Structure 1
Amino acid sequence: MSISIKLMGVPGPKLGDEKFTQDMFGVSTPTFVTPDTRANAQLQKQSLKNTQIYYFLNLRESHVLDFIMQGLWIKTQTSPFEAPYFSCVPYLLGDGQAMQYSMWPLRKKRTRIPRLPLRPPDDYLRNAMVATLAEEDVEFDIRVQLQTDPHLMPIENNAVLWPTKLSPRRSVATLHIPKQKFDSPAQLNFDRKLSYNPWHSIPEHRPLGNQSRARRRMYAALSQLRHEMNGVPLYEPTGDEVFE
């Protein structure tokens, strides 16, 4: 699973094309599957042929360790509100300091996964979100981990887990999602107009590393294609939108 957060009304100059937003991202495994853009391209090529296993078991350039670690971390999720999310790539935290961030659910309840041990419905995670927000608020603890060792906590290899023994994750903020109905036609249409990019950012939190540099162009191109296919314009939200 993944999460995208768009902060609105953010002052100051930006690196990307949006003037008043700061985007944040996370996935539900603590590292990326691939260490860098070159390896990512190799995996994508194999994915197109549905032969991803050859990327991991390539005798000339094996990624067996990545395969094992991802297998240990991946699990059937109960709800998007009940899993932690990790940035996996580093960002600046002011001049000369790299960090990674993560979001940790504060909800203690666990949603039942339908149909187990059979395959759950394709939309069970979305249904879990709708049901939860219809009844209660949801909160995540946002934590920051500072880079304290450039060798054991690398910038350019995003398949390496930064050791918490060297630098613990520290709470810096709370993401609060109020109780609501969020799946109205007006809201879904609004969602289609949005665009997310790690480079929707102030310079002080610039994305770092080769995969972040690649995502700048890739995300922009994918967003443009998606908006053209959906026949909707790009839209930078203000946070003042009202939905009936």
Structure 2
Amino acid sequence: MRIIPRLVQSTTDTLIPRLRRLDPYYRDHFDRLARGPLQAFTQGLIRLRQRPTGLGLTEERPMEDEAALIDDITDLMNRFLEREYGDTGETAERAGNTKTYGLVRGVFRVNDYLAPHLRTPLFQPGERYLAYARFGGPGPRVVPDIEDNGILSIGLKLMGVPGPKLLDDERHTVDFSGISAPTFTTPDLQENVKLQQQVGLGTPAWYFLNPFDSHYLDMVMQGLYARAHANPLHLAYHSCVPYLYDNGDGRPRAIKYALLPRRQTHTRAGPFTPNYLRDAMRETLAQEPVSFDFAIQFQTDPRAMPIENAAIVWSTRDSPLVRVARLDLHMQRFDYPAQDAFARNLTINPWHTIAEHRPLGNQNRARRAIYYATSRTRQAINGEQHIEPTGHERFDLAGEPDSDNAPESSEETAHEPV
């Protein structure tokens, strides 16, 4: 019964890396000319299958048996970690967004001018926060970069953020996360369970290609953005799922957000060494700083911009992206072994946030328990304790403060935990 799924997976594992090696020769042209029309067509088909929810702006509705679905996903991912790492003596990595290309230091700068309706306790004009940005690949295993599925991720942790947090294992942090595609791999928790089941069986491709329960449209949306990337620092990253944006006027709104590179840089991918993406990051940050705009997009139509369906792109024509902050990554070295170990132990969870920016939707509601549990499982396998960073950690080999890793100036330390 499992012969066909295994054959499909084996074929996919062999074929995709070989096709990816051709990306440098045509993919930029394809993306520029064809990705937009193909995405519009695919999104049109996805919307035709969309069922009315009756929800209004910013409204959520838990799924039937949502708690059981969350338990199932948590159990599946924890079992994967135990099976992959528990008795192997190998260092346990994340069950998703697995491979770390690099953890780099930065400063998250809120714009000096923000219209009143954009101001929240976190987003105050001119505010500064120390930040760590972790760039990673999808996983669920650590493999040569060209063999991964081409959707990269960012996990962003701000330090020194005052106020009570929705997840109290960290007191001073706010986390953001995104991937290099505008839609999530699965539209909701029910489908996520199916994907995790196939991951556990070693046949994730069968989740998309099973003709009796296919997810072809989701596969196309991921495929339009999955490619042999040249450099994680040159990509846009999307939240894919919504969050609250409450400016205190009594009318909280829902948003999605994106991290957009401030400079459009086109470099050719390769040569395809096992860690070529990390090498590209290292070379870039040795020569120049990198910046991203942090932009938000308000929900303006509850059907066209659903809260509970992560397969639907929110139209920037109907609701343009609004830039509210920027992430500056200064020139630095980040390849210290201690820094890599720190990155592995670091927990990124969207519920490390304040109430004004509460995560919304079923996938986000699940992340609270799933990310918490899997991070603790990973740390237990590795014999590590959960850490809350301050932004002032030092990772150089000598154990002394490293000027390459120091904040740019004294103004970057304006927010420190108290």
Q: TM-score range by the shorter chain?
A: over 0.9
- Structure (1 or 2) with the greater helix fraction: 2
Q: Does 1:173 align with 2:329?
A: no
- Give the 3 Å change call, closer, same or farther, for CA 63–185 of structure 1 in structure 2: closer
Could you give the per-residue CA deviations for residues 2-49 of structure 1, whole angstroms, max 9, x where no partner exists? 000100000011001210000000100000021101101111212333
Report which stretch shifted further, 66-75 or 83-92: 66-75
Match of 1:109 in 2: 265
Could you give the per-residue CA deviations for residues 170-218 of structure 1, whole angstroms, max 9, x where no partner exists? 1111100000011113322332332111110101101111111111111
Match of 1:2 in 2: 153
Conservation of the 8 A alpha-carbon contact between 1:192 and 1:232: no
Tell me, in whole angstroms, the C-alpha distance in 2 between the residues paired with 1:196 and 1:73: 23
- Give the 3 Å change call, closer, same or farther, for CA 191–53 of structure 1 in structure 2: closer
Tell me, in whole angstroms, the C-alpha distance in 1 between the residues paired with 2:315 and 2:267: 30
Tell me, in whole angstroms, the C-alpha distance in 1 between the residues paired with 2:344 and 2:315: 38
TM-score by length of 2: 0.55
Please state how far the C-alpha of 1:58 moved relative to its aligned partner: 4.3
Gaps of 5+ in 2: 1-151, 401-418
The residue type paired with residue 203 of structure 1 is A
| Percent identity for Structure 1 against Structure 2 | 52
Report which stretch shifted further, 67-76 or 6-15: 67-76
Match of 1:20 in 2: 172
Please state how far the C-alpha of 1:64 moved relative to its aligned partner: 1.9
Conservation of the 8 A alpha-carbon contact between 2:178 and 2:238: yes
Q: Does 1:36 align with 2:188?
A: yes
Tell me, in whole angstroms, the C-alpha distance in 2 between the residues paired with 1:46 and 1:185: 33
* CA root-mean-square deviation: 1.6
Q: What SS is found at the alignment partner of 2:259?
A: strand
Tell me, in whole angstroms, the C-alpha distance in 2 between the residues paired with 1:62 and 1:190: 39
Conservation of the 8 A alpha-carbon contact between 2:183 and 2:221: no
- How many residues align? The count is 240
Tell me, in whole angstroms, the C-alpha distance in 1 between the residues paired with 2:301 and 2:262: 30
The residue type paired with residue 299 of structure 2 is Q
Q: Does 1:97 align with 2:248?
A: no
Please state how far the C-alpha of 1:76 moved relative to its aligned partner: 1.3
Counting only pairs closer than 5 Å after superposition, residues 82-231 of structure 1 correspond to structure 2 as 82-94=234-246, 96-115=252-271, 120-231=272-383
The residue type paired with residue 154 of structure 2 is I
